[in-house]
Amino acid sequence: MLKHDTEPNSVALMKTSVKLIIVLITGLVLTLGSCQLDEEIDIPGGNDDNITRLLGKWGVSDNALKLNYEVAVERDPSNSTQVVLRNFAGSGSAAKALVVGSSLVVEDQVVGSNWLVSGSGVYRNSSRMEFTYSLTISGSGEQRSAIFTR
């Protein structure tokens, strides 16, 4: 008799458990299915798109001396996470920049006629980048801002 009384409770408990599992799975599927990929996420192996959008010729307005010059951005053949900035700071030579998402980092390096440069840039959109960097020539240093457009 005792066995007969517990069977309906077991069946009811099992039905409730199955319903709960179905609700949880449905909620999980809806949650995961509605996710969108954020453009700023750094995906391993996905740096090509961040670099590709930078490539090409950019007109530069460097505010320190009201200089205007052109910089060509190319892939760095020796490092897939970097670009080469040809004529950076109007130096006539190249600097290398590490690309991290929308940011570019120019570590301390010598360009041109023994000029020391370092700084960072931000890719704003397909027609604008903004850089701030320090430039030291013959021991005299200055901070510069440059707008890259195309």
Asked if 96 and 144 sit in the same domain, the reply is yes
Boundaries of domain holding 110: 47-149
pLDDT digits (tens, 9 = 90+) for 63-95: 766 789 999 999 999 999 999 999 999 999 999
125 & 58 share domain: yes
* CA distances to 39, 126, 145, 150 from 36, in Å: 9, 22, 35, 30
Q: How many domains does the chain have?
A: 2
In terms of domains, do 117 and 75 share one?
A: yes
In a domain, 68, yes or no: yes
Check: CB of residue 106 under 8 Å from CB of residue 88: yes
| Residue at 41 is within a domain | no
In the DSSP assignment, the letter for residue 1 is -
73 and 136, same domain (yes or no): yes
Q: Is residue 129 part of a domain?
A: yes
Query: Is 126 domain-assigned?
Result: yes
Asked if residue 110 is part of any domain, the answer here is yes
Judge if 58 and 97 occupy the same domain.
yes
Q: What is the CATH number of the domain that holds 91?
A: 2.40.128
β-strand pairing of 94-100 with 128-137: unpaired
- Give 30-69 as a DSSP string: HHHHT----TT---TT-HHHHHHTT-EEEEEEETTTTEEE
Decide which of 26 and 127 is more confident. 127
Q: What pLDDT does residue 29 have? A: 67
* Local structure of residue 79 (DSSP, 8 states): -
- The pLDDT tens digits of the residues spanning 46-64 come to 556 899 999 999 999 997 6
Confidence (pTM): 0.67
